[in-house]
Amino acid sequence: MLFQGIEFLAFFPILLLVRFILPRNLEKIIIVIASYIFYSWWSLKFVGLLFIATLVDYFCGLLLAKEKSEAKRKLILSLSLILNLGILFAFKYFVWVAGLFGKDLVYSIILPLGISFYTFQSMSYSIDVYRNEIKPEKDFVSFAAFVSFFPQLVAGPIERASNLLTQINSGPVYQKAFIRSGLSLFVWGLVKKVVFADNCANLVNFSYDIYEHQSGIELLLSSYAFALQIYCDFSGYTDMARGIARLMGYELCMNFNIPYFASNIRDFWHKWHISLSTWFRDYVYIPLGGNKCPKYQNYFNIVVTMLIAGVWHGANLTFVFWGLLHGLYIVIYDFCHKRFTSIIPKPLAIFATFHFVLLGWIFFRSETVEKAFSII
């Protein structure tokens, strides 16, 4: 079920009516049922994966809180990580990795909707409980509502338990400001997605499909169009998700903050897909050592984190290259910024940062690395 689809425009008013009629103490159950209906509308057979991830991380959280032995706590956490990453690998990367090793499989695997998001969200809960940053959730229905919360189930933002699960337990907040801003966010997100992203996609698809016959200026303009497309697609969906959540009385985190006006590449990643970039910072970069280590090790940590972030986006060497490129951008910026930041005017810094990002988008959009270099 898509937010811009006719099915959702029928589903959501019915959900609001049901929530209004039924007692407040049924709120969590209603969210779970609605979320599973929303997800199963796309494919009923993959609902089991969502439930398994929820069930395992729920019990892992309870066991982590009870267990005092550090070795056993690590084993419990490993179970959560292996399950979530195993599901993600099996459906998203198995065929691709097999191909890298020369095993051309004759079948393909359907990628379950939203799997990259709900596995990361569920996994972050187990890690936070392991770190004693949050207490485990004892109510299974509350935890199931947190993992499957349908506004952000398919494309984020990736929520932390400290934000969304806390709201689910305390109940929705009904305010006129929430209704007004929720409607505004949803409509603006819908415009971004349907008017800008979808129309830009038509232009980009046409140009990139026949790139050998396009001039340099045509490919450059098409790449600008893709930059607009991917921003309006991702941020538009997030705006719709946040708007829907507000209409239900919940607040999701901001995921995009005018990223193309960033004045450097670090600033860009503070503004682009914020829930994902902070996820990789907290659960990959910092555990690797972060910046609490020698410079060479810090640079290694940055590049590895961005490589993993690239692979997260898709099973293709183009995403690996995109992640590597951004890792190198950050390393070069970190090495040089003290010398040049004070002498480069901010408008020029914004212009340069955007075009470095644009270069990366060419790899992100291309089917192969070779095609990306040809377009460049």
pLDDT tens track for 285-331 = 999 998 889 989 999 999 999 999 999 998 899 999 999 999 999 99
Q: Is 73 helix (H, G, I), strand (E, B) or coil?
A: helix
Q: Predicted confidence band at 113 (pLDDT cuts at 50, 70, 90)? A: confident
Mean pLDDT, the chain, whole residue set: 92
What single string gives the DSSP state of each residue in 11-29? HHHHHHHHHHHS-GGGHHH
Q: Is 61 exposed, middle or buried (0-12, 13-18, 19+ CB in 10 A)?
A: buried
Greater confidence (96 vs 246) lies with 246
pLDDT tens for each residue of 235-280: 999 999 999 999 999 999 999 999 999 999 999 999 999 999 999 9
User: Token digits for 23?
Assistant: 């007692």
Q: What is the DSSP string of 149-174?
A: -GGGTTT-----IIIIIHHHHH----
pLDDT of 37 strictly over 80: yes
Residue with tokens 């098409």: 222
Residue 171: HSE in the Cβ half-sphere, 13 Å Cα cutoff: 8
Cα-based torsion angle of the residue sequence 89, 131, 279, 85 in order, rounded to the nearest 10 degrees? 0
The three-state (H, E, C) secondary structure of 38-55, written as one string: HHHCCCHHHHHHHHHHHH
> What residues have CB less than 8 Å from 246, skipping those under 6 apart?
178, 179, 181, 182, 185
Angstrom distance (rounded) from CA 270 to CA 257 = 8
339 sits in the region (left: phi over 0; alpha: psi -120 to 50; else beta) called alpha
How far is the CA of 247 from the CAs of 175, 185, 268, in angstroms? 9, 10, 30
Report the pLDDT value the prediction gives residue 109, as an integer from 0 to 100: 63
Active site residues: 313
Instruction: Tell me which of 110-114, 185-189, 244-248, 324-328 is least confident.
Output: 110-114
Domain boundaries of the chain, sorted by first residue:
6-170, 176-247, 259-375
Mean pLDDT on 125-154: 95
